[in-house]
Amino acid sequence: MEPIRPATHKKVYLSGPMTGYTDYNYPAFQDAEDKLKQKGFTNICNPIHNFEGRIDMPRHEYMRVDLSNVLRCDAVVVLPGWEDSIGARAEVLIAQEIDIPVVELDTLLPVSVKVVTSTPTSTFIAIASKTVTKAPTPPSNAVPANESILAEAERLVGGDRKRDYAHPFLNFARIADLWSSRFGVEFSALDVADAQILVKMARQQATPKRDNLVDIAGYALCAQMIAEYEDEQK
């Protein structure tokens, strides 16, 4: 097998994990782009540049653009950890289905990917000579072993929820506008965070649960992020 070359694969797409990584793994994607440029590739489709680098768009908007870009490329270059990313696996499988080569970043050699079978709960992918069984995606509220309440709250606020609902200030400001219109009283984004904490405190008093405490911590973190955002805008 030969590595891909700029002369024969003029446009390449970078695919890899983002969700759950610090800064959405943007530094690794930028490093990968720089490495490819050093190897002579000039037309590199890097998803971190979509929407001018914004991170407050709904996840499905990113996926629509990403999958569309895969179709326009001559090769897909995968970053380490792509196998554990739902989005990256989707990009790889689509590329494989339409005969777009999928290669590793360091070697630019093909990664042999073949869908063996699929079920509603798992996908089986053969990578080279090794068969990997992808376990069912855990529910979004699954708690990693030994994760503290504060750590879980930070993970949720800074991970999928931020990407799905945007920065807390933008999301809570929209809620505040709706409340102000409905009740005839001026509300701020911080008011919304405070009110949500009170709601969770009431629920905790009625039915003590870990989820309530996680949400209280999460809304407190949102309040901090909102205050910092407002300070930056002054």
DSSP the chain: -----TTT--EEEEE---TTSGGGGHHHHHHHHHHHHHTT--EEE-GGGGGGG---S-HHHHHHHHHHHHHT-SEEEEPTTGGG-HHHHHHHHHHHHTT--EEETTT-PBP-EEEEEE-SS-EEEEETTEEEEEPPPPPTT---TT--HHHHHHHHHHTHHHHHH--HHHHHHHHHHHHHHHHSS---HHHHHHHHHHHHHHHHHHS--HHHHHHHHHHHHHHHHHHHHHHHH-
Token pair recorded at residue 63: 């996926």
- DSSP lists the bridge partners of residue 110 as 103
Predicted confidence at residue 133, as pLDDT, reads 45
pLDDT averages per 10-residue partition of the chain, 234 residues: 90 93 91 96 95 84 91 95 89 88 94 55 46 48 71 79 68 89 90 92 90 90 89 80
Q: Which residue has the tokens 């490329």?
A: 73
13-to-127, 203, 225 alpha-carbon distances in Å: 19, 47, 33
Q: Are strands 123-127 and 130-134 parallel, antiparallel or unpaired?
A: antiparallel
Predicted confidence at residue 154, as pLDDT, reads 86
According to CATH, where is 3.40.50.450 located in the chain? 11-134
Contact between 214 and 149 (Cβ < 8 Å): yes
- State pTM to two decimals: 0.52
Crossing angle for the helix pair 189-206 and 210-233, to the nearest 10 degrees: 170
Q: The dihedral of CA 220, 221, 225, 227: what is its sign?
A: positive
Predicted confidence at residue 129, as pLDDT, reads 38
11-134: CATH architecture: 3-Layer(aba) Sandwich (3.40)
Predicted confidence at residue 46, as pLDDT, reads 96
Predicted confidence at residue 142, as pLDDT, reads 54
